[in-house]
Structure 1
Amino acid sequence: MKKVSILIFTFCLILSSCATSKRAQQEVSITTTQWKLITVATSSKELKPSEENPVTLKIENNQASGNSGCNYFSGPVELKEKSLKFGDLASTRKYCMESMEIENAVLKALSETDNYRIKDNKLELRKGSQTLATFAIAN
């Protein structure tokens, strides 16, 4: 009888830990997380940032800020439920030959974004149902 009770208790513990993990994933918020770019789509291919020039995004207090691979950007953002619209972004104007392609693609993706989705702890910036850029939680 004791073995059965211990088995049932262990099984319940395992199930509850799985539920906690799923709940934690759902609690990731677009506004309380620093994001790091995984990929950005262009018309012909997907681009990935280099480790030396990471692309970051932070959204809080109706403002977006980050690094687009070479330059820093910031500007207003309108966030309503799953709707997301970036306003005019100000940016520094440094030229970095090795990262201009990804920088231009990122800034274009931000300007075209009209909604977002968080799935498996990844932020997808989207236009309609098309994913423009995918970010992971930055460490």
Structure 2
Amino acid sequence: MTWRGVMRLLVGLVLGLVFFTVLASMIFLIGTGLFWHFRHPFWQWWLYLFEASGDPVVRVWLVISGVPAFAIPFLAGVIQLVRGRRVTGWSLRRDHAPTKPVDGVTARSVQNRTLSVGGLPGEGTIDGWAGDGE
């Protein structure tokens, strides 16, 4: 793993931990009805984990709030990992150039070019059509 990959991994882990902490704390405090009792309710999940996890009601709410708060950053990290490996799939991009280019000009391309610019000099009609009202 390169230095850039290690840094991306560390930044992703830190951001995931911050997101987990805030989201789990919000879900926990709203679910238990304690949201309005804290001035800054952003890290209470960890406080209740270490201080009051012996209470069965608190333990249930820690699990209820921890599972979705873990799943969201985890899935975001998995998606980034998969996309970062350049996994190919269907896209709207043009195909790659052929390995063996076409030799010269084909008759079809000459015909298309002459029809699009009004024909060759001296030709007045295309399939019996005289053009601009001539």
Give the TM-score, by structure 1 length. Answer: 0.26
When Rg is computed on C-alpha atoms for both structures, the one with the higher figure is: 2
